[in-house]
Structure 1
Amino acid sequence: MPDTAETLLANLGETYVASISSPSPRHPAAMGWRAHTSTMAAGFTRALHSLHQIAPDQAADIATWFAGPLDDGPDPEEHMDWVAEHIAAHPDTFQKWLAEGRTAAERAQQFTAEWERKQREASA
């Protein structure tokens, strides 16, 4: 587990990048790696609560950002840019996260295709 705020933020950034990288798997089991994101939501909740205690205006700004411009959540592309600029700390780090996310997404897509093929063969 991360031992500093900077490390946690880096992990959150990396997880975010991986969780939205395309292609998206269709099989529920292949999507399991994305479930990790839900644990991050718990951490975000605690952090936002703490921030609200000491800087309510900043917490409000985050809540507004999180709602998104159309009340449908944060803009994924804008957040990708923000993660690259503020969290990754170096373009090479961000590119590494992006490549890892794409690789994981491609592996999940391959797993799903193989699983579907086996399901078709088993039902034939």
Structure 2
Amino acid sequence: MHIHFVIIGILFIILALIHIIFPKYFDWENEFKSLSLINRQIMKVHTIFIAFTVLLMGLLLITSSNELLETDLGKKIIFGLAIFWTFRLIIQFFGYSSKLWKGKLFETTVHIIFSLLWFYISSVLWIAYFDY
């Protein structure tokens, strides 16, 4: 289980760093022009804090897998993470329109990869919570 936590931790750090390219890749400078100042800033600040939270989750899994797996508090944290990432898996299918990816090779590939990623993360966390 420790190796899965390290793998997920590394994936979380990579995912957090990928957020750096969001503004340019998604053309936020033009896309956000029609938004009010508060909505533009909320989007940017929330993205930064999502990335920061995912980064911290990654560091926690890499540096503290023993404590997470072997203590009562660790089990509670794993339970919370399992719920969080299970909801992220569900949102992958019900929070985004399939119009964003259907019929588009790159977008469909990304959708499938992230669906599998969220499934892997959720599964490992639930297994760690119930069986480890």
The TM-score, its normalising length taken from structure 2, stands at 0.36
Higher share in helix:
2
Q: Report the structure number with the largest CA radius of gyration.
A: 1
What is the TM-score normalised by the length of structure 1?
0.38
